[in-house]
Amino acid sequence: MKRLNITIITVFLLWAGVAYAGSTGSEKLKVSTSSSANECFEGVSRAMFSFNQALDTTIFEPIAKGYRVLPMVIRNGSSNMMGNISNLLTIPNNILQGDFAGAGNTVARLAINTTVGILGFFDPAEKMGFPDRGKEDYGQTLGVWGAGSGCYFVLPILGPTTVRDFTGTIAN
């Protein structure tokens, strides 16, 4: 059980490192001059942004650099596996959004890639005529249902979000 926990944590950190792999570390949060941005917690968001930048530089950037050393087959396979797992979240959201064709396509992709694709390491569903239609989450579902985005703010580690997407993240 301990080995499983360590493996899950390692995979999560590698996956999170991939999310930050494109970051150059030179992004700056500019003062908002437009009144269109509904930022209710700007001071906290700026502090969280700085915290995230420091975390990116010290933890995620080295992980991402190590990840880039892995062979492309391993990187593609791990990306495919994470995408396959995310299909479990996409299916109910397709249904809640009324996209039954998308839900059927995602169920087929999940079934094919989990079995023939060896737990999603490979993506044979694409070649069999089931294209990836993108990922859906509960924040998007709330948006389809008419919920406004709400205030914008920055979370530690997870980054920028809105009240609607944060609520969806909790549901996810």
Taking the C-alpha atoms of residue 118 and residue 106, their distance in angstroms, rounded to an integer, is 17
Taking the C-alpha atoms of residue 90 and residue 70, their distance in angstroms, rounded to an integer, is 28
Averaged pLDDT of the chain = 85
pLDDT tens for 44-89 read: 999 999 999 999 999 999 999 999 999 999 999 999 999 999 999 9
Q: Name the pTM for this structure.
A: 0.70
> What confidence category does residue 4 fall into, taking pLDDT thresholds of 50, 70 and 90?
low
Q: Which two tokens stand for residue 166?
A: 């944060």
Q: Which two tokens stand for residue 41?
A: 């917690």
> What confidence category does residue 18 fall into, taking pLDDT thresholds of 50, 70 and 90?
very low
pLDDT tens for 85-127 read: 999 999 999 999 999 999 999 999 999 999 999 999 999 999 9
For 83, counting Cβ atoms within 10 Å of its Cβ (0-12 exposed, 13-18 middle, 19+ buried), the class is middle
Instruction: Please compute the mean of the pLDDT values over residues 11-39 and round it to a whole number.
Output: 52
Contact 78/120 with Cβ under 8 angstroms? Answer: no
User: What is the per-residue pLDDT for 22?
Assistant: 45
Percent of the chain with pLDDT strictly greater than 70: 78
User: What is the per-residue pLDDT for 11?
Assistant: 54
Q: What residues have CB less than 8 Å from 79, skipping those under 6 apart?
A: 18
Q: Give the Cβ contact number of residue 54 at 10 Å.
A: 11
Percent of the chain with pLDDT strictly greater than 90: 73
Taking the C-alpha atoms of residue 75 and residue 71, their distance in angstroms, rounded to an integer, is 7
